[in-house]
Amino acid sequence: MKLKQCSMGLALAIVGLSAAQAGEVQVAVAANFTAPMQKIAADFKQDTGHTALLSFGATGKFYTQIMNGAPFQVFLAADDEKPARLERDGMTVPGSRFTYAIGKLALWSAKPGYVDGKGEVLKKGQFAHLAIANPALAPYGQAAIETLTKLGVLAAVQPKLVQGENIAQTWQFVATGNAELGFVALSQVMEDGMLKSGSAWPVPAELHTPIRQDAVLLKNGQDNAAAVALMKYLKGDKARAIIKAYGYGF
């Protein structure tokens, strides 16, 4: 009986020690990466005990907030420019920045068969609204403008553009039917290599500047074990498998 009690006490002590070592990390995440990051965070907690507290939004807004003292410890941007700028401004841990995903743009409609396989629907112009993310704040919005410019249709569709503050709001405009179609992140409409609903045209990479999405450890997180662990976890096979399943490249 004493041996059993001793074993139980040891087990409880180990559990207590693990709980004591587990921490939390405040993470600013680009809106396009919402679904995969939620899955990664769940696995991260299960595998390490650490909790990632996630905030989703526009990369440009997060940059401003971080510069103004927001308490984020890890930043997962939708581009490589903002993390690089933070790096130059001395706001990051040197050498921590890396590309965690290459984003892919898609023209999407909630209606099956509405978007053709070559994006010709843009040239026909038989729609009232085309949703894009604010190009001043969201890299996917900038990529959409570049795509429309290269296709030679920007001037024609300009009066029909409706802007979401970020790519999540842009997706919502299309999903609710307030816009017949829009440029969204492929990850928002794809899972496990399959289109979840509606119709889509994955935009060829040569039509816009590559969407390199960089992660960086902020100065606020340099002494946070959970923040350091998350940066490492994002480079692991488990996280990369999730990222790939949502249509991202590396």
φ and ψ at 150, to 5 degrees? -65, -30
pLDDT, residue 5, reads 52
pLDDT value at position 13?
Answer: 40
The strand pair at 98-103 and 130-133 is best described as unpaired
Which residue from 247, 113, 248, 237 is spatially nearest to 191, judged by alpha carbons? Answer: 247
CA dihedral for 246, 77, 104, 165, sign (positive or negative): positive
CATH match for 23-102+212-245 among 3.40.190.10, 3.10.180.10, 3.40.50.300, 3.40.50.280: 3.40.190.10
Question: What separation, in Å, do the N-terminal and C-terminal C-alpha atoms of the chain show?
Answer: 56
Tell me if residue 80 falls in helix, strand or coil: coil
Of 174, 154, 155, which is closest to residue 163 (Cα–Cα)? 174
Sheet strands side by side (includes 181-185): 161-164, 130-133, 181-185, 105-109, 199-202
Helix (H) or strand (E) holding 84: helix 81-88
User: What are the residue boundaries of the structural domains of the chain, listed by start?
Assistant: 23-102+212-245, 104-207
In angstroms, the CA 80 to CA 213 distance is 6
**Can 23-102+212-245 and 104-207 be said to share one CATH topology?**
yes
CA–CA separation, 164 and 57 (whole Å): 11
Report the C-alpha gap between 155 and 130 in whole angstroms. Answer: 13
Spatial separation of the C-alpha atoms in residues 240 and 234, rounded to whole Å = 7
Compute the distance between CA of residue 163 and CA of residue 176 in angstroms, rounded to an integer: 15
What pLDDT, on a 0 to 100 scale, did the predictor assign at position 114?
97
Q: At what angle do helices 225-233 and 34-48 cross, to 10 degrees?
A: 120
Pairwise CA distance, residues 138 & 248, whole Å: 17
- Going residue by residue through the chain (250 aa), what tens digit of pLDDT does each one get? 454 554 444 444 444 434 447 899 999 999 999 999 999 999 999 999 999 999 999 999 999 999 999 999 999 999 999 999 999 999 999 999 999 999 999 999 999 999 999 999 999 999 999 999 999 989 999 999 999 999 999 999 999 999 999 999 999 999 999 999 999 999 999 988 899 999 999 999 999 999 999 999 999 999 999 999 999 999 999 999 999 999 999 8
104-207 homologous superfamily: Periplasmic binding protein-like II (3.40.190.10)
Instruction: Give the residue among 167, 150, 197 at the shortest CA–CA distance from 103.
Output: 167
